[in-house]
């Protein structure tokens, strides 16, 4: 049994935070499935690296460009082809887990993060175009994204809610999921066939908070460096346990509804002084997903520690985050800025990807 399979036995699923034509063509993705990876996530930055920084898509770009397709149409054709292939590879996982795992996520255009109606429309279109039950549409947990989540879940569309940093973000998303399921139930939908994860970002918290702790000039504060991100995630898991044991939830569960699992995202360690498996080893628990980039998967397989750690020291985790107030560190402001910056970062990556495809179109034209 691999370490990834051992995690699955403890109730945590490992999803791969990466996709590319090379990984699909080489058999690497199938090898990851065999090793215990049970899902895939993607984002504009991942597709930018896959498409712009390799030659694996050049022939198709040349063909599509020659057929008169626009830059945006070329991107979508390439991305949907990869997502569909991955979804077909993971379909046996989906079937064997009765719809718990085996999902492949694709993000709605991040430039729509503040437009509820168009986000809903695009999510519907992508879900229909891919036409596979193990597709998840990624929607950001912005003020505009949260009502979109409710609507989409109410229509039976699987949603990966992304870019959550605060407990408020988490609560808004969890309750949107519940309201969506209530709508689906009221319309006679099958609650057991819709799934969602709440993607709570981890490492970026430490990157931001560590700077604030260093600037505080407090010796005790320095001892908290590298700990707030994990504490924040543990607090979110505590809210998950409360929300998904409530009477409202019990009523939905009786109709076959699945919990919206917390997903730990941004789990590669940004600070080289910290262990490279920090955001895996410390966040292992039931009903969760950890989406790991390639280097984190390799590191965990090599020297990660498999043990149920997520519910350890939860009271201490709350105290750690609360202590930030004593240091006059506005944690809510930090987490909101992280979400705003995350939306902008994905938007910038998407624009850079469009630019790179446009340049490839020109470079690949026959002489």
3-state SS, one letter per residue, for 110-138:
HHHCCCHHHHHHHHHHHHHHHCCCCEEEE
DSSP β-ladder status, 135-140 and 159-164: parallel
Radius of gyration of the chain (CA): 20
Q: Which letter, b or e, does each residue of 190-222 get, where b requires 16 or more Cβ atoms within 10 Å of its Cβ?
A: ebeebbbbbbbbbbbbbebbbebbeebebeebe
DSSP 8-state code for residue 308? -
| Pair 116, 141: CB distance under 8 Å | no
Question: For 15, which DSSP code?
Answer: E
- Residue 46 predicted with pLDDT over 60: yes
User: Which range among 37-41, 219-223, 356-360 has the greatest average pLDDT?
Assistant: 37-41
Phi and psi, residue 215, nearest 5°: -75, -15
- pLDDT recorded at residue 44: 87
Q: How far is CA 235 from CA 39, 178, 270, in A?
A: 25, 20, 21
Cβ pair 292, 265 in contact under 8 A: no
Rounded CA-CA distance 307/124 in Å is 39
**Does residue 38 register a pLDDT over 60?**
yes
**Region 183-212: what's the mean pLDDT?**
97
Q: Is the pLDDT of residue 266 over 80?
A: yes
Whole-angstrom Cα distance, residue 24 to residue 36?
A: 16
**Rounded distance, CA 354 to CA 363, Å?**
14
Q: How far apart are CA 362 and CA 187, in angstroms?
A: 50
Q: What is the mean pLDDT of the chain?
A: 96
Mean pLDDT, residues 13-20? 97
Overall average pLDDT of the 321-340 stretch:
96
For 50-109, write each residue's pLDDT tens digit: 998 889 999 999 999 999 999 999 999 999 999 999 999 999 999 999 999 999 999 999
Q: How many CA atoms lie within 13 A of 282 on its CB side?
A: 24
* CATH dotted code for 3-363: 3.20.20.70
The residues carrying an active-site annotation are 138
Model pTM score: 0.96
Mean pLDDT of 241-248: 96
Q: Mean of the pLDDT values across residues 176-182? A: 98
Q: Which of 67-71, 231-235, 257-261, 263-267 has the lowest mean pLDDT?
A: 67-71
70 exposure class (CB count in 10 Å sphere: 0-12, 13-18, 19+): middle
pLDDT above 80 (res 367): no
The answer to whether 175 and 243 are in contact (CB under 8 A) is yes
Of 36-40, 156-160, 362-366, the least confident: 362-366
Distance CA 102, CA 15 (A): 9
- If one counts every other C-beta atom within 10 angstroms of the C-beta of residue 365, the result is 10
355 pLDDT tier (thresholds 50, 70, 90): very high
Q: What is the spatial distance between Cα 113 and Cα 340, in angstroms, rounded to a whole number? A: 10
HSE-CB at 95 with a 13 A cutoff on CA atoms is: 7
If DSSP codes are grouped into helix, strand and coil, which group holds residue 366?
coil
Instruction: Report yes or no: 201 and 165 within 8 Å, Cβ to Cβ.
Output: yes
> In the chain, what are the domain boundaries?
3-363
Residue 330 clears pLDDT 70, i.e. is over it: yes
Q: Are 79 and 20 in contact (CB under 8 A)?
A: no
The string of DSSP letters for 38-101 reads EEEE--HHHHHHHHHT-STTHHHHHHHHHTT--HHHHHHHHHHHHHHHHHHHHHHHHHHTTTSS
């Amino acid at each position: 049994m691999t370490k990834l399979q051992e995690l699955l036995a403890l109730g945590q699923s490992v999803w791969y935070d990466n996709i590319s034509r090379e990984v699909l063509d080489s058999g690497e993705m199938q090898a990851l499935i065999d090793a215990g990876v049970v899902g895939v996530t993607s984002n504009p930055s991942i597709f930018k690296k896959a498409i712009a920084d390799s030659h694996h898509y050049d022939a198709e770009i040349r063909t599509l460009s020659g057929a008169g397709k626009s830059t945006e149409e070329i991107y979508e054709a390439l991305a949907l082809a990869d997502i569909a292939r991955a979804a077909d590879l993971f379909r046996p996982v989906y079937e064997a887990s009765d719809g718990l795992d085996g999902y492949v996520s694709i993000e709605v255009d991040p430039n729509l993060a503040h437009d509820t109606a168009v986000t809903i429309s695009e999510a519907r279109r992508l879900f229909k175009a891919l036409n596979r039950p193990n597709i998840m549409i990624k929607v950001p947990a912005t003020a505009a994204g949260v009502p979109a989540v409710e609507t989409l879940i109410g229509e039976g569309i699987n949603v990966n809610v992304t870019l959550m940093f605060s407990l408020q973000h988490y609560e808004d998303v969890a309750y949107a999921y519940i309201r969506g399921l209530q709508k689906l139930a009221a319309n006679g939908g099958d609650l057991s066939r819709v799934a969602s994860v709440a993607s709570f970002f981890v490492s970026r918290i430490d990157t931001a908070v560590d700077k604030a702790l260093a600037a505080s000039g407090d010796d005790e504060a320095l001892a908290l460096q590298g700990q707030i991100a994990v504490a924040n995630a543990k607090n979110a898991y505590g809210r998950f346990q409360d929300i998904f044991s409530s009477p409202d939830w019990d009523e939905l569960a009786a109709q076959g509804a699945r919990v919206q699992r917390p997903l730990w995202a941004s789990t590669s360690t940004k600070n080289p002084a910290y262990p490279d498996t920090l955001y895996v080893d410390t966040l292992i628990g039931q009903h969760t997903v950890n989406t790991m980039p390639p280097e984190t998967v390799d590191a965990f397989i090599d020297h990660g520690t498999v043990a149920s750690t997520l519910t350890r020291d939860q009271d201490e985790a709350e105290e750690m985050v609360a202590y930030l107030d004593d240091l006059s560190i506005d944690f809510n402001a930090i987490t909101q800025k992280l979400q705003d910056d995350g939306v902008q970062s994905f938007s910038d990556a998407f624009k850079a990807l469009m630019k790179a495809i446009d340049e490839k179109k020109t470079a690949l034209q026959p002489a």
